[in-house]
Structure 1
Amino acid sequence: MGQTTSLPTHEKTSSSPSLSLHREDALTSTSAKCPVDHAQSQAQATQLKSSQCPVQHDTVPSQKSGQCPVEHGEVNPLNQMPSLANAPQHGQSMELPTERSESSIPRDGSEKWQYPSPQQFYNALVRKGWETPEEHIEVMVEIHNFLNEQAWQEVLKWEKRQYSDDDIQLTRLRGRPGELSPKARLFMLAGWLLPSRFGDEPPFDRHDWVVRRPKTGEEVRYVIDYYSAPPEPDGSPAFSLDVRPALDSLGSLKERIAVATEEAWASFRENEKASKSDADRH
């Protein structure tokens, strides 16, 4: 199950549901960090090439292009999230919002993950020594949060196939910068062998999310590959999310096979319908 989604440019960050999960080997802070790394500040998020991540990563001196700007080594042991300062930086040229928005993603029975404020996001970039265009920070946070919400909706689609309750929780996550999933590698190989049918661009990000089913206590790992997609006609950036359960259990394997079969059959029927329609016209 995958989804191509475009960013609603008319929305403001504060109005969209939020979460805050960052990428690397640890989770985020009291405001959970985003599972998607959009932290390189040299980008103008509203002017993106279709093959690029919404935030430029190629000018980072000491980090891999996929790494999150937030240091995950210093974490709160109670929630496994880094503590981010919410105060303006010395010499900061403009004021940034310090309010954090709550996501739609449950962390436990009573709390939901939170996204970092634009000021925290900016501070994380500065801490890494990256030049940061302050006027673009709010747009970057909006994209960051938007992709997290879309990824969670894809997880829910999978869960509803075999677990009808809607009370699942995102218990932890892990960013895996620069580490291609087996499926992403397969797609890149297909793009090399059949360039007319498949693209060869790698995902700009990958994250593993672990969700918990409270009634059974079962935990299921999901792999999320984030791809850039061609922009919308109005220039809005678009993204494709490939979300699926990891092949950690027989149940997940069966679900992956079932969904792949359903999608292949649906595609076959659609092609047959289109062919018949063309034949009737001629």
Structure 2
Amino acid sequence: MGQTSSQSAPSRTAGLPSQACPIDHKSPSNVSSCPVPHDAPPKLAECPIDHESINSLNQMPNLSQDAAPSQSVALPTSRTESSIPRDPSTKWEYPSPQQFYNALARKGRETPEELEHVETMVAIHNFLNEQAWQEVLKWEKRAYPADDIQLARFKGRPGELSPKARIWMLAGWLMPSRFNTEPPFDRHDWVVRRPTTGEEVRYVIDYYSAPPEPDGSPVFSLDVRPALDSFGSIKERIAAATEDVWAGLRDNGKDRPRA
């Protein structure tokens, strides 16, 4: 696994060791959003989702474990528990492959190819969110020494570019040889709760695809940072950026020949 970045430009984060990522990252229309639905579902006939029940903690409908009408192969219905605390006694659970496929069906993307790779897609989805949580923990350690933080709620915002993502896209347009020109394929907003102080801090996460490893393993980049909602978050962002600059200067100084 590679490294993630939460302070400056998103860096490469190696994905799962598969021969090829099942998500077509070369086609923006196919990766413009996370396949798990985040918005209020439309009223679709024969859709296996309970449209009347929307979870206020993640703005998602309750996805059914029943097979989709067009489904030809049974999918696992077991869910994986994440490492992300939801409250003092429970952790968030990831959707099962069946729920994931039902989300694709809701978006009209339930193709035989998607069915074949859905379990790999779930693994990638879970891996990226685990990496995102580790980056959140790094940020939180800067301002909150306790280790009891929780993910209170989250919201997917696919198709909504964050201000920072817009800046990086502009940089890519001006200097395509140096910066990535592809937009993030997904965005999440996570609200972290600090139980000791009662504070809630919003984090913005941009998910990028990157060129694969030589062996074909997919590579992703995460840009995780606290939103500029408070003086404390602004202070941490400035401090982290300053540290990056000084680290770069020190590294450059080590490479200079001595007189």
2:29 corresponds in structure 1 to: 58
2:29 match: secondary structure: coil
Cα pair 1:103 1:112 within 8 Å, conserved = yes
Deviates more, 1:83-92 or 1:226-235: 83-92
Q: Which amino acid aligns with 2:37?
A: V
**Alignment CA distance shift 1:238-1:162 (3 Å):** same
Aligned positions of 1:146-157 closer than 5 A:
146-157=127-138
**2: distance between equivalents of 1:139 and 1:215?**
38
Match of 1:92 among 62, 71, 77: 71
| Residue in structure 1 matched with residue 101 of structure 2 by the alignment | 122
Q: What is the deviation of 1:91?
A: 5.1
Q: Pairwise CA RMSD of aligned residues?
A: 2.5
Residue 4 of structure 1 corresponds to 12
The answer to whether the 8 A contact 1:45-1:139 is kept is no
Number of residue pairs matched by the alignment: 237
Give the structure 1 partner of residue 46 of structure 2: none
Contact preservation (8 Å) 2:32, 2:186: no
User: Structure 2 CA distance, aligned partners of 1:275 and 1:48?
Assistant: 43
Residues 148-193 of structure 1: CA deviation (Å, up to 9, x unaligned)? 1000000000000111111111111122221111111111222222
Instruction: Tell me the amino acid that sits aligned with residue 185 of structure 2.
Output: F
Q: TM-score, normalised by structure 2?
A: 0.82
- Secondary structure at the aligned position of 2:212 is classed as coil
Conservation of the 8 A alpha-carbon contact between 1:48 and 1:237:
no
Match of 1:171 in 2: 152
Q: State the TM-score, normalized to the length of structure 1.
A: 0.76
Cα distance in 1 for residues equivalent to 2:56 and 2:180:
43
TM-aligned CA distance change 1:47 to 1:106, over 3 Å: closer
Would the aligned equivalents of 1:69 and 1:128 in 2 still touch at CA under 8 Å?
Answer: no
- Quick one: distance in 2 between partners of 1:67 and 1:237? 16
Distance (whole Å) between structure 2 residues aligned to residue 119 and residue 260 of structure 1: 42
Structure 1 residues 216 and 190: alpha-carbon distance in aligned structure 2, compared to 1, 3 A threshold: same
Aligned identity (percent) is: 65
Q: Is the 8 A contact 1:57 1:66 kept in 2?
A: no
1:95 to 1:152, Cα distance in 2 relative to 1, 3 A: same
Query: Following the alignment from structure 2 to structure 1, what is the Cα–Cα distance between the partners of residues 76 and 35?
Result: 21
What is the CA distance between 1:212 and its match in structure 2?
0.3
Matches within 5 A, 1:10-49: 46=21
**1:202-251 CA-partner distances (Å, limit 9, x unpaired):** 21111111000001110000011111122112211011111000111111
Alpha-carbon distance change, 179 to 48 in structure 1, aligned in 2, over 3 angstroms: closer
Counterparts of residues 162-241 of structure 1 (less than 5 Å): 162-241=143-222
- The amino acid across from 2:229 in the alignment is D
1:270 paired residue number: 251
Letter in structure 1 aligned against 2:66: A
Q: Distance in 2 between matches of 1:99 and 1:127?
A: 20
8 Å contact 2:97–2:122 — kept in the other structure? yes
Provide the C-alpha distance between the structure 2 equivalents of 1:192 and 1:57, rounded to a whole number of angstroms: 16
CA distance in 1, matches of 2:197, 2:248: 35
Q: Partner letter of residue 176 of structure 1?
A: R
Match of residue 113 from structure 1: 92
Could you tell me which runs of 5 or more consecutive residues in structure 2 were left unpaired when the two chains were aligned: 41-50
Q: Distance in 2 between matches of 1:105 and 1:85?
A: 23
Query: What is the alpha-carbon distance in structure 2 between the residues aligned to residue 221 and residue 211 of structure 1?
Result: 6
